[in-house]
Structure 1
Amino acid sequence: MSKLITKTARLIIREFNLDDIQAVYDFNADERVNRYTGDAGVVQSLADAERIIRDIWLTEYLQFGYARWAVVLKETNSVIGFCGFKNDYRINETDIGYRFAPEHWGKGYATEANQACIEYAKDHLDLDYIVGDVVEENLASINVLLKLGMTFNKKFQDMGFTVIRYDMYLKSKS
């Protein structure tokens, strides 16, 4: 049984477990999902999906108390993607992110799930500040970050992309 993080009207947000290997493979399989992520092609097999769950997410839950979390559609009890936080050593910041199978795009799940993650972080995690990096052409993700209340921080080049960084303070600066 995976640790429950939070629930919304339509979603359950919980930690991933090894029973989620097929779902992780499935929501990464469509090349459109990873088009702007910088990690296209990382999940090409069930073994790749298992490695990500075991070696990254399960490890980060223990190390930081958070990592990407499974987004489960209440209606079907199926994992449709991920949301939540990543301690990104490359930028020395905590990144908010999300990824969903294309059939679940445009339904507000990314905003709904990540708003719940932000509320959870304010109440349960020792996080003061988060960033959201998005490729300039990914207008849908830019829209999600703005709906979450994040503000423009800077624009830069990374892995051949023009990236826009948005940020947010979770606790008041005092």
Structure 2
Amino acid sequence: MALMTSERLSIRQVTAADASFILSLLNEPSFIEGIADKQVHSLEQAVKYIDDSFTKSYHDNGYGMYLVSLREGEIPVGICGLIRREYRDDFELGYAFAKAFWSKGYAQEAVKTVLNYGQTVLEAKEFIAVTSMDNQASIKTLERVGFVFNCIEKLAAYDEESRLYKLTVEL
């Protein structure tokens, strides 16, 4: 059941039934290069990853990363949501889309929907987002929705330096 919807997208919790899509997404070269190699190489590992990350976050934090699907046909296109890191005390926006669905405005539409949810339901006043140093597509998406470059930081979750963006909202 959809937790959020936009004009073209439906956004809901990721379940074990989504393991095939998650396996495919996590192994796209652009995901591995731009985000990380999660070392998920089978359906069984994908189910475990869903349980250990997505489901755990819903349980522990009340939110997390969500499956983004086209409303028409419920075709999964990516993931988008809010992350709570153990070493940070803020709402971190995260997203990744299957390459076949790039350049169609889905990331921007999903990000706006998730940010609205964060503001209205979770009462978040500030969001951060992290990109790899040269991920121009994500940088453009973040800037289009109002994020502003804040600093270059070496975050505990990543091996290399990252670009940190912030968005402050008025409730």
Task: Give the TM-score normalised by structure 2.
Answer: 0.90
Change over 3 Å in CA distance of 1:171–1:63 after alignment to 2:
farther
Could you say what secondary structure the match of 1:84 adopts? strand
The residue number in structure 2 matching 1:118 is 115
Give ranges in structure 1 of 5+ residues lacking alignment: none
Aligned-residue offset at 1:43? 2.0
Give deviations 1:88-137, integer Å, cap 9, x for gaps: 12334321011111101111111100100111111111422210011121
Q: Does structure 2 retain, via aligned residues, the 8 Å contact 1:69–1:84?
A: yes
* CA distance in structure 2 between the aligned counterparts of 1:19 and 1:66, rounded to whole angstroms: 19
Q: How is 1:121-132 mapped onto 2 (pairs within 5 angstroms)?
A: 121-132=118-129
* CA distance in structure 2 between the aligned counterparts of 1:169 and 1:48, rounded to whole angstroms: 37
Which amino acid in structure 2 is aligned with residue 130 of structure 1?
F
Q: Does structure 1 retain, via aligned residues, the 8 Å contact 2:67–2:79?
A: yes
How many pairs were matched up? 169
Q: Percent identity?
A: 25
The residue number in structure 1 matching 2:28 is 30
* CA distance in structure 2 between the aligned counterparts of 1:170 and 1:60, rounded to whole angstroms: 23
Aligned-residue offset at 1:28? 1.7
Task: Give the TM-score normalised by structure 1.
Answer: 0.89
Mean alpha-carbon deviation: is it higher for 155-164 or for 70-79? 155-164
Give deviations 1:40-75, integer Å, cap 9, x for gaps: 142222122111211221121122111000001123
Q: Does 1:12 align with 2:10?
A: yes
Mean alpha-carbon deviation: is it higher for 40-49 or for 117-126? 40-49
Give ranges in structure 2 of 5+ residues lacking alignment: none
Change over 3 Å in CA distance of 1:113–1:161 after alignment to 2:
same
Give deviations 1:135-161, integer Å, cap 9, x for gaps: 121000000110111111111245443
Please state which structure has a larger fraction of its residues in strand: 1
Match among 136, 139, 143 for residue 140 of structure 2: 143
Q: How is 1:35-50 mapped onto 2 (pairs within 5 angstroms)?
A: 35-37=33-35, 39-50=36-47
Could you say what secondary structure the match of 2:161 adopts? strand
* CA distance in structure 1 between the aligned counterparts of 2:112 and 2:149, rounded to whole angstroms: 18
How big is the alpha-carbon RMSD for the aligned residues of Structure 1 and Structure 2? Answer: 1.6
Q: Does structure 2 retain, via aligned residues, the 8 Å contact 1:33–1:102?
A: no
